[in-house]
Structure 1
């Protein structure tokens, strides 16, 4: 399966959205802090990012791991960097 690519902000939002839709999280009314994804060398599955140090996540580690596994299978972190030398260039 070919992964889609997202920038760090969009990837963080997608993981956040999926975590906060989990029934256990909704029922407990907890707000879990989702960290920014960190670029890494592609692992054996080809995924080039990971997330660690979720906040307020005690008791939800397995749920978070399940979400991460699914999102890591679908998306890679975009490695393109924008050239900020000319702000008027499109």
Structure 2
């Protein structure tokens, strides 16, 4: 399966959203702090990112691992840099 790509913020949001849908996390009212993804060399599966050091995660490690496994199978971290354009705001040829 070809992975879709998301930027770091969107990957972070997707993991947060999926964790929020897990019943035992929602029932406990726990707010897990999701770190930004870190770019890495593609692993054996082809995934090019990882996340470590979730906050407020004690007791929910299995849930987090399941969500990460699913999201890493679907998405890669975008490596494209946005074009900042002309930082001086000049018009071309002006």
Q: TM-score, normalised by structure 1?
A: 0.94
Instruction: Find the aligned partners of 1:33 and 1:21 in 2 and give their Cα distance.
Output: 15
Q: Structure 2: any 5+ residue segments left out of the alignment?
A: 90-94
Q: Structure 1: any 5+ residue segments left out of the alignment?
A: none
List per-residue Cα deviations over 1:2-34 (Å, max 9, x = no partner).
000000000000000000110110110000000
Choose 1 or 2 for highest CA Rg. Answer: 2
Alpha-carbon RMSD: 1.4
> Which structure 1 residue ranges, 4+ long, deviate > 2 Å from structure 2?
none
List per-residue Cα deviations over 1:30-83 (Å, max 9, x = no partner).
000000000000000000000000000000000000000000000000000112
Equivalent residue number for residue 74 of structure 1: 74
Summarize the alignment of residues 1-90 of structure 1 with structure 2, pairs less than 5 Å apart. 1-86=1-86
Q: TM-score, normalised by structure 2?
A: 0.90
> Secondary structure of the equivalent of 2:5?
strand
Q: How many residues are aligned here?
A: 89
